[in-house]
Structures are given as C-alpha cells and as structure tokens.
Amino acid sequence: MAMLIARPGIFTTVQDRGRTGNRQYGVVVSGAMDDLSLRLGNWLVGNEGGTGALEMTMTGASVQFDEPVFVAFTGAEANIECKGKSIPMWRPVYIPPRSEVHVKRLIQGSRIYLSIAGGINVPKVLGSRSTYTRGQFGGFEGRALKKGDNLPIGHPGEAVQAVMDTISKANDRVLAMNWGISASVYQSLKNTRLRCVEGSEYSYFIAASQQDFWRTPYKITPESDRMGFRLDGARLEMNESKEMISEAVAIGTIQVPASGQPIILMADRQTTGGYPKIANVTTVDIPSLAQKIPGAEVYFQYATLEEAQQLYIQREYELQMIRAVIQLKWRKEKG
C-alpha cells in the first residue's frame, strides 16, 4: 500500500520521534516538532507513538489513497475534506479506496500531523524515519515532499485491520469514529506562557535582563525554522563577556548570542552550542511552542527543576491513560 502526494504544501516531511543515541557523533535528533500531537495521532490509528507520520508546516497538503485506510489528523486546527465531507481532527477516520484527502487551510497553529494506520514505511536511517533536510537524509530521500512522491505504508495493527475490513465491505464513504481525544488534552497547544528552568549561565546576565526575560513578551520572528525559533524582544545583556566552551544542548534550550536576542533550539538543533544559555523551556511546553507561527508572542514563566520534572511525570501518566483507553476502544470496535 502507498500514499501519493498530490499537493505537498510549503514544507511537508516524514517525521517520527527522532534519532536518539547518536548525538555524540554530531548527528542531530530531528523528529516531530510537536511530539504530543504525533504520539496522540499515532495511538488513534493503532500505531506505536513513534511511528512515522507526515508533518505539514504552515500550509496543508493533499494525499491520495488507492486502498482503504484509517487516518488521524492532530496538531494545528485546520479545514480537512475528503469526497466533499469535512473530516474531524483528533479522531480515527476511515478513508475509502481511491480517495483524495485535502488539508485546505490551517486555522490556528503552524503544524498539522497526518498519522496513518501502519505508518509511513520509508527506510530507517540510524534507527529513525525522521527527515533532516539540512543533512539530506532520513524521511523520503532526505527532503521535503514533492508532488508525485509515492510513500509506502506499513500494515495496520490487528484490531484496526479487522475494523477496516468490516467497514470496507459495507461502506464506501468517509466514516469518522464516534470517539477521539478530548479537547481538554490538546487545549494546551494554544498556551502562550512557556514554563522554563534557569539555564546554566543564567547568573551571567545582569539583573535587569533577568527581570526582562520573565516579565516581557518575545515575538517569534520569520527567521525561525525547525532548527531554532529566533525571538525579538528586550535585549539580554551579560555582566561581562566570557569565553565559553561549546557543550551539549537540548530541545528548548534558550541561547543568547551577541545580539542579545534569544534563540530557542528546536527539533533540528545542533548537538552542541557555545552561546550562554539563560533558560530551558520545559518538555511539557515544547508542543505549544512548536505550534506558534511567526509574529506570535510568548511569555516565559519561571519553574524549578523539580516542578518541571513533576509536570513531565504527570503528563506522561495522563498520556499512558489515554493510550490505554484508545487501545480498549479498538478492541471493542473489533468485537
């Protein structure tokens, strides 16, 4: 089975949860910018959370399926249609054979994910199907997708396949399941306040800059991309210029170059950095940051390391509960 790209949009790539365990060799992690939406979308169609999916940035794409399939759309809010019918987000949706699905317009947010039962089955590179376009590897030929690309799709899980077989025998229409992810789970993607822990060089900055960092908004500039979000706001100044040795950085690390304007490192970040790090966005708030469009304003809110860890533990507990409920739903649908 395969999926044909009929219209690729501005920047659509194959992403999973990234290639971990290779940063010591200088290999970037990549992966979905909004990891929360990726995982939830995959679970909705019976996949493992890190299965390969499409990440569409700023604009949607159109894809064609020759065979029946279950899909789920998560992430940015968008208008989606198939055979003249509106497709809801955050639910499993049955797509009949010989259908074209159109993601027409992103209404709110910047990245929408298309998860397909069985996953996008492009070859793995260093253990991941994620696309790293700067390095030209991973995903589909190491690049953003083009019109006419034909992507292989894997085999759905047993329960999803059984439900799909039953539906396809009696139905040739688009059919959304009557269950999905509660809005309360993904409302956090709209948050503009990002919780942060102090960075290792926080004390290097003058008191006025420390206060500005927590109290004033920063705007995401058009120069932002998958490597990092460049911000515009109060200039951050250091007590004195210091020589720094490059060291490891993480997603959400906030570096401050000589310009004084912060850069938040994202999925395609480099493995090390030599700029002072004033703070790090908490893991739980990375998805909402990833959904911000150029021109959006964000605020930083102080959090202790212990608070950040507890937020992560609580979120993971809630996500595993959601996953268990989804698995139960599929077993009931199978009968």
Instruction: Say if residues 196 and 301 touch (Cβ distance below 8 Å).
Output: yes
| Cβ neighbours of 157 (radius 10 Å) | 19
Architecture of domain 191-303: Beta Barrel (2.40)
Distant-in-sequence, close-in-space partners of 117: CB < 8 Å, separation ≥ 6? 45, 46, 47, 69, 70, 71, 156, 157, 160, 161, 164
Residue 76: what pLDDT? 96
Q: What is the pLDDT of residue 187?
A: 86
Contact 188, 311 (CB under 8 A): no
- Which residues belong to CATH 2.40.100.10 in the chain? 191-303
State the Cα–Cα distance between residues 88 and 81, nearest whole angstrom. 9
Burial status of residue 24 (CB atoms within 10 A of its CB: 0-12, 13-18, 19 or more): exposed
Beta strands in 188-308 (DSSP E): 193-198, 218-220, 228-232, 247-248, 253-255, 263-265, 272-273, 277-281, 297-302
Residues of the chain with pLDDT under 70: none
Total Cβ atoms within 10 A of residue 106: 22
Task: Determine the residue type at 40.
Answer: L
Residue 176, classed as helix, strand or coil, is: strand
Buried b (16+ CB within 10 A) or exposed e, 42-77: bbbbbbebbbbbbbbbbbbbbbbbeebbbbbbbbbb
Question: What does 210-240 look like in DSSP terms, one character per residue?
Answer: HHHHHHS-EEEPTT--SSEEEEESSPP-BSS
Round to whole Å and give the CA distance between 96 and 42.
Answer: 19
Give Cα separations from 215 to 136, 233, 278, 300 (angstroms): 40, 11, 14, 7
Return d(Cα 12, Cα 61) in angstroms, integer: 7
* pLDDT digits 0-9 by tens, 207-253: 999 999 999 999 999 999 999 999 999 999 999 877 788 999 999 99
CB atoms under 10 Å from CB of 123, counted, come to 9
Instruction: Tell me the β-bridge partners of 232.
Output: 219
Residue 302 CB neighbour total at 10 angstroms = 12
pTM for this structure? 0.96
Spatial separation of the C-alpha atoms in residues 184 and 101, rounded to whole Å? 27
Rounded to the nearest integer, the mean pLDDT of the chain is: 96
pLDDT of residue 165: 93
Residue 185 three-state SS? helix
Tokens, residue 161: 């396949």
